[in-house]
Structure 1
């Protein structure tokens, strides 16, 4: 009878050690980070719903005015008394900034707590002795937070765009500003996944929690800085030349401006003007190009992490 019980219990043990068991292990070990992430999502969701509710009132305070009121323009005193536009712009900007730089804490956490600390403490090697291969261990370590982060950041981007309404640049910023650009498109998810992969690679390289967090954070900062510097070059800009002067629309991302004068610069009308810029229609091509680069970085860092793990384990 004892032998029969032992034989029937063995498959159950093996099942618990399978992929589903690894998923729950990762969630349980990092439940504090998961709880923090859930609270952050709930807080951002509440803020964005509030912004959507007050959006119409904010737009009322963001219109031209005259003193005294005339010619169809409201009085400036009445407009200045409406401060909800400042509240709206401030909170929308805060959410956009948080989405833009979510890569930084993600990279630090991945390098420190997710990978580096477990290698430093020996927890990872203990798991490898429980019928879990190093490759499966790392796959679960990366896959679980990748899914959680993708769902969370993707949902917040959709909510952010919903709360921004018509995208009035005076309230939510011009589309080409770093925070507005990243916080409204798929680049948010791309940056987060790249931060996760870079942090994990840093943790595997250094095998120390604090060092892995620091290097992961540094790698994320460098990635953000490089892409922001070269974002304007990710898609061919438009050059427009005309005789005399002309103005670009507010929605244009101006990159260069050249004016040709006659014999006496600054006197009279210019002979010709040339402007290089990205029109509003370039938003999506640049988004897709930058997201592709970020996903390539994430894939390369992930492959490098698996290669390094195989080199260092039997």
Structure 2
């Protein structure tokens, strides 16, 4: 419980201004402001990096490539790699931040407050356990959706802006997720899984480990079987599949492949699966909490 929540008002000691229910979101923001500031800083840094690369770095990269001369093949490759890897790092960092979200939700947001008794204290101040958990999840969920959505739009713009300088294709794990709503879905899934782990285990460190482990299994298996999320195409009789960044060849020797037009069907199926896990985990967290608080 934050100092803000404990201070209360003159009329009702221990109750935050505006009443226990209306004041709870502000208490959540104050109590976890450090983590939320870090999340906001990460989003701003990633978006700023993308804008800088597209608007400033791209022209200088082209100038350096032009200065490489006719025999500057290695020079050209190095400059292209430097540009594309910076954009790639931005997508990778934000994509896999769902591990940090799961750890935060399981450890600090839910598990620690159940472990040290501050949650039970809040329940004695006219805040039901269900309302407590709903508010705890709603505040970071709004920030996850807002920040993730902004990043997706900026990344799509940056990824498409200078394709002649980019080496990343649409099949890369981070690029595949960061170009659409799957990135936001993974964040919400981490939040739900973390909440469930925290409610079940009621201890911050064990819940943190379990939540991260579950998110690893979810993500690993979806990446492993991503090519099976949508029926693959087959080349016309007598024709092969031309190797290009627009084609994802399936490595089973049968000539099956995914053209880039399959991106959105595959992406939306994966998004639906991840959101389904998020809904199930969140619903289970509420069910377990109600059962235990009776």
| Kept in 2: contact 1:238–1:278 (CA 8 A) | yes
- Alpha-carbon RMSD across the aligned residues, in angstroms, is 2.6
Name the residue aligned to 1:182: 177
The gaps in structure 1 that reach 5 residues or longer are 1-7, 68-73, 259-273
DSSP-derived class of the 1:238 partner: coil
Query: Residue 88 in 1 paired to residue 83 in 2?
Result: yes
Structure 1 residue 77: deviation in Å? 2.9
Paired with 1:117 and 1:147, the residues of 2 have a C-alpha distance of: 22
Name the residue aligned to 2:278: 298
Structure 1 residue 83: deviation in Å? 5.5
From 155, 180, 190, give the equivalent of 1:160.
155
1:67-105 deviation line (CA, Å, top 9, x unaligned): 9xxxxxx61339827964333212111111112211111
Structure 1 residue 183: deviation in Å? 1.5
Name the residue aligned to 1:201: 196
More strand by share: 1
Give the aligned length.
Answer: 282
From 130, 135, 138, give the equivalent of 1:140.
135
Structure 1 residue 169: deviation in Å? 7.9
| Kept in 2: contact 1:61–1:85 (CA 8 A) | no
Please say which of residues 75-84 and 120-129 is displaced more in the overlay. Answer: 75-84
Query: What is the TM-score when the length of structure 1 is the normalising length?
Result: 0.82
Which 4+ runs in 1 deviate beyond 4 A? Answer: 59-63, 81-84
Structure 1 residue 168: deviation in Å? 2.8
From 25, 31, 44, give the equivalent of 2:27.
25
Please say which of residues 79-88 and 296-305 is displaced more in the overlay. Answer: 79-88
| Kept in 1: contact 2:115–2:202 (CA 8 A) | yes
| Kept in 1: contact 2:195–2:285 (CA 8 A) | yes
1:175-195 deviation line (CA, Å, top 9, x unaligned): 011111012111000000001
Paired with 1:61 and 1:97, the residues of 2 have a C-alpha distance of: 26
| Kept in 2: contact 1:109–1:213 (CA 8 A) | yes
Sort the Cα spacing of 1:311 and 1:244 in 2 relative to 1 into closer, same or farther, 3 A. Answer: closer
Paired with 1:184 and 1:108, the residues of 2 have a C-alpha distance of: 24
| Kept in 1: contact 2:50–2:155 (CA 8 A) | yes
More helix by share: 2
| Kept in 2: contact 1:195–1:220 (CA 8 A) | yes
Paired with 2:42 and 2:76, the residues of 1 have a C-alpha distance of: 32
Sort the Cα spacing of 1:256 and 1:137 in 2 relative to 1 into closer, same or farther, 3 A. Answer: same
Name the residue aligned to 1:52: 54
The gaps in structure 2 that reach 5 residues or longer are 1-9
DSSP-derived class of the 1:242 partner: coil
Query: Residue 282 in 1 paired to residue 282 in 2?
Result: no
Structure 1 residue 58: deviation in Å? 3.5
| Kept in 2: contact 1:17–1:132 (CA 8 A) | no
